[in-house]
Chain A
Amino acid sequence: MRAGDPLEPMNRVIFTFNGVVDKAILVPAAKTYRGVTPKPARDGIHNFLNNLRSPVILINDVLQGEWSRAGDTLTRFAINSTVGVGGLVDVAKRQGIKRHKEDFGQTMAVAGITPGPYLVLPLLGPSNFRDAIGRIPDQFFSPLHYVNYNGQNTVTDVRRVVNVLDKRERSLKAVKKLRRNSLDRYASYRDLYRQKRKQKISNKELDVQALPEFDISKK
């Protein structure tokens, strides 16, 4: 097995497909979004989307027994939904209560469930078996999931589309730099995903003993 990625041939095909979609649709859409929306409005939308995600983060904080972080999430949600005009302004951040992210994939990791093989999901990008499964309960943790209009989840669908635009617009520069510097883009994304996930699961606490050894016998 190469680098814990037994599905690499299939993953690479999906990765290429995602790249084509990104280039043909997402990048032009993100650039248009940037062009027609002033920065303060984009920041407001970003804050609003983050605020909408708070219930999902809160439930996962609680499931992980992270009471202090759950308190932060709840306080942030209360402050930003009210004083922050429905979440458009991140007032809580200005008060020193920083946002953190949690999802059910992280909750499963904290419970000791291993990630399983690396997986590239169509349109959604890098993941693994555990985190891909974790996406399902997270949907049910969001109150928006239960908001129906004419029997359809229109609100959730609109949120998803705007969320994709927001994420892609914010990563335009970083992805461009990654494309310029990376030697193997697929391997690069895979490693970035793994390192970032490890960091999120440990709540940014560094386990120094888990760092790899360097051979210093020959200089």
Chain B
Amino acid sequence: MTYALPKLIIAFIVTFVLLFPIRAMADTRAETLIETQAASALAILANPDLSQTQKTTQFNEKIEQLAAVNIIARFVLGPYAKTASPAELAEFTNVFHDYALSIYQSELGKYGKETLKVQKSVDRKPGDSIVFTQLSGGALKAPSLVKWRVLNINGEAHVVDIEVGGIWLTQHQRAEITAIIDKNNGAISAAIDSLCAKSHKCGDAKRLAKS
């Protein structure tokens, strides 16, 4: 009995030391990513010294670092990600990439002069956090809340979804893309064509291939 208590205390301390830093680090990493990288992505869009082309290029580079676009591309295919051939998956990912960047730019482009402040973060599970941020100032009449879903992928934190105005963008993209594939009896090519129709880059590539 006299030995049981110290053993219990040591076990508690070991458990605390082992578990607590991991949880705290997951939150901190996700919060830091949003505080630094997301804020600098918004700053690019607000920079008056940059031309529109420069803004697009720099913003896209930043989003490439920030978001796990390949993982998002597989997610938006829903159940069809499992049935897609490697070639289809590669083509879809390539086309989706441009579309996703344009959507992020369109959704986040309305911000820029605003100040992004991390309010808190919640761990859904280890390596899966939701960072709550508030954008205020600039052109906003009232503060706007934006949530970021951050996953730890191979030791690096990446954004996989953003909630703006109550809508999770990646989930929304999945709803649209799977609806197109459903409507076309499971043909992923239909989703690729729809994405192509929205992407100038893809349209140019197709036109070049035809000529």
Contacts and interface: CB of A to CB of B under 8 A. Distances in A.
Interface of A: 2-3, 177, 181-184, 186-188, 190-192, 195-196, 199, 204, 206, 208-209, 211-212, 214-216, 218-219
A215 B172 contact: no
A204 B71 contact: no
Contacts of A188: 172, 175-176
Contacts of A182: 176
A195 B167 contact: yes
7 contacts: A177-B106, A181-B103, A183-B180, A184-B180, A187-B180, A214-B72, A219-B68
B176 A183 contact: yes
**4 tightest A-B CB contacts, nearest first:** A187-B179, A191-B175, A208-B124, A199-B166
B153 A215 contact: no
A102 to B, nearest CB: 16
A206 B179 contact: no
Most buried by B among A188, A196, A211: A211
A218 to B, nearest CB: 7
Contacts of A184: 176, 179-180, 183, 194
B154 A219 contact: yes
B178 interface: yes
A206 to B, nearest CB: 7
B106 A3 contact: no
Most buried by A among B75, B149, B175, B194: B175
Contacts of B74: 215, 218
Given A183-B198, A215-B71, 6 more contacts: A183-B195, A184-B176, A187-B180, A195-B167, A218-B74, A219-B70
Contacts of B176: 182-184, 187-188, 191
A183 B178 contact: no
Most buried by A among B151, B160, B161, B176: B176
A95 B70 CA distance: 46
Most buried by A among B147, B161, B172, B195: B172
Given A2-B182, A3-B182, A216 B153 contact: yes
B106 A195 contact: no
Contact of A195 (B72, B122, B130, B171): B171
A195 B70 contact: no
Interface string B47-85: 000000000000000000000101110110000010000
Contacts of A192: 167, 172
B92 to A, nearest CB: 13
B177 interface: yes
Nearest to A212: B171
A219 to B, nearest CB: 6
Given A183-B176, A187-B179, A216-B153, A206 B171 contact: no
A177 B178 CA distance: 21
Nearest to A194: B175
A184 B74 CA distance: 19
Contacts of A186: 179
B4 to A, nearest CB: 36
Interface in B153-188: 153-154, 160-161, 163, 166-168, 171-172, 175-180, 182-183
A215 B175 contact: no
Contacts of B175: 3, 187-188, 190-191
Contacts of B171: 191, 195, 212
Contacts of A177: 106
Given A187-B180, A191-B171, A216 B151 contact: yes
A209 B123 CA distance: 10
A156 to B, nearest CB: 29
Most buried by B among A187, A195, A199, A216: A216
Contacts of A204: 166
Interface in B133-159: 147, 149, 151, 153-154
